[in-house]
């Protein structure tokens, strides 16, 4: 139960959602867009946030899209992780989505919610970053479609009043070899110590990471080392571990030193598999 009153809106169109946001904001209601709800509900119950209004975008057709055409795949922001996984439209994203939380929560957590949420791991971002995905956003200034990496700084950062409508994955990424390795401290279903996601393009390995730092990331500098075949797999893993954008995360899941140990072993195994055409 949420221990306070708030206004609930369920618009049927993009412009209707933004109009509601403007109106509620002008009334001092601090509105929040609502895609899946698992995180918003939990944070409201704990008192971490207290929106005066929520705008539920799940009824907007564009936010529920699951389309494939000659350009690639187009996924609505309000699609649940379970639906993405079951669709098999982008196997790497489906694999990542299927390893977030348990099945019950996968039926509630949405793509947009995972990218924008407060939980730091945001593991659906990894396949999208590797695939050079674009996102469509809608807000008071209208609609725009931009590369995900231009609006993703550890989490999706739309402009005030904007919300995510869709993610667009180019066709090449749907066919390329991939890997998704998630290491947890104890349980199979848990926050990651280290998640390594890899996708091959033009013979080169792309890699993105979650759990290592306070945010998910992809690093061109780190990828250059991973693709340096003049070095052994172990040497590449050792060097890559020294190129994190921030010191390794320390929390209840594990220490920074342990995370680096797990990362080096995981990268070594990944690179050895790549050398033998196993990804």
pTM of the full structure: 0.94
Instruction: Supply the mean pLDDT for the chain.
Output: 93
Tokens of 82: 């379970």
Kindly tell me if the per-residue pLDDT of 43 is higher than 80.
Answer: no
pLDDT digits (tens, 9 = 90+) for 76-107: 999 999 999 999 999 999 999 999 989 898 99
Question: pLDDT category, 51, cuts 50, 70, 90?
Answer: confident
- What does the pLDDT read at residue 46? 64
**What CATH number belongs to 176-275?**
3.30.390.50
**What CATH number belongs to 7-59?**
3.30.43.10
Residue with tokens 């539920």: 56
Mark out the alpha helices in 98-211 (DSSP H runs): 103-106, 111-116, 125-130, 148-151
Q: Which CATH architecture has domain 61-173?
A: 2-Layer Sandwich (3.30)
DSSP one-letter code for 34:
E
How many residues are present in the chain?
A: 279
Domain boundaries, the chain: 7-59, 61-173, 176-275
The CA–CA distances, whole Å, from 269 to 130, 147, 241, 262, 273 equal: 19, 31, 14, 11, 6
The CA–CA distances, whole Å, from 102 to 106, 119, 166 equal: 6, 15, 24
pLDDT digits (tens, 9 = 90+) for 111-170: 999 999 889 999 999 999 999 999 999 999 999 999 999 999 999 999 999 999 999 999
Task: Name the packing angle between helices 256-275 and 233-241 (round to 10°).
Answer: 150
């Amino acid at each position: 139960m949420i221990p306070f009153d708030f206004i609930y809106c369920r618009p049927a169109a993009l412009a209707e959602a933004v109009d509601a946001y403007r109106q509620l904001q002008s009334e001092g209601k601090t509105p929040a867009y609502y895609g899946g709800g698992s995180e918003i509900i939990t944070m409201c119950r704990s008192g971490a946030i207290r929106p005066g209004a929520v705008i539920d975008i799940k009824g907007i057709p564009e936010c529920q899209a699951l389309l494939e055409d000659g350009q690639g795949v187009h996924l609505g922001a309000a699609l649940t992780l379970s639906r993405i996984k079951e669709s098999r439209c982008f196997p790497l994203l489906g694999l990542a989505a299927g390893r977030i939380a348990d099945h019950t929560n996968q039926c509630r957590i949405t793509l947009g919610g995972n990218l924008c949420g407060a939980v730091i791991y945001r593991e659906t971002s990894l396949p999208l970053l590797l695939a050079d995905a674009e996102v469509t956003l809608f807000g008071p200034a209208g609609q725009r479609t931009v590369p995900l990496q231009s609006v993703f700084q550890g989490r999706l950062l739309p402009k005030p009043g904007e919300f995510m409508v869709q993610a667009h994955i180019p066709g090449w990424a749907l066919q390329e070899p991939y890997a998704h390795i998630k290491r947890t401290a104890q349980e199979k279903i848990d926050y990651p110590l280290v998640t390594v996601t890899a996708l091959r393009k033009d013979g080169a390995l792309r890699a993105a990471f979650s759990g290592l730092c306070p945010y998910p990331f992809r690093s061109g500098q780190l990828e250059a080392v991973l693709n340096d075949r003049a070095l052994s797999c172990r040497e590449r893993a050792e060097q890559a571990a020294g190129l994190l954008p921030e010191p390794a995360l320390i929390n209840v899941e594990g220490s920074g030193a342990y995370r680096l140990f797990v990362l080096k072993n995981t990268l070594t195994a990944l690179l050895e598999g790549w050398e033998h055409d196993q990804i």
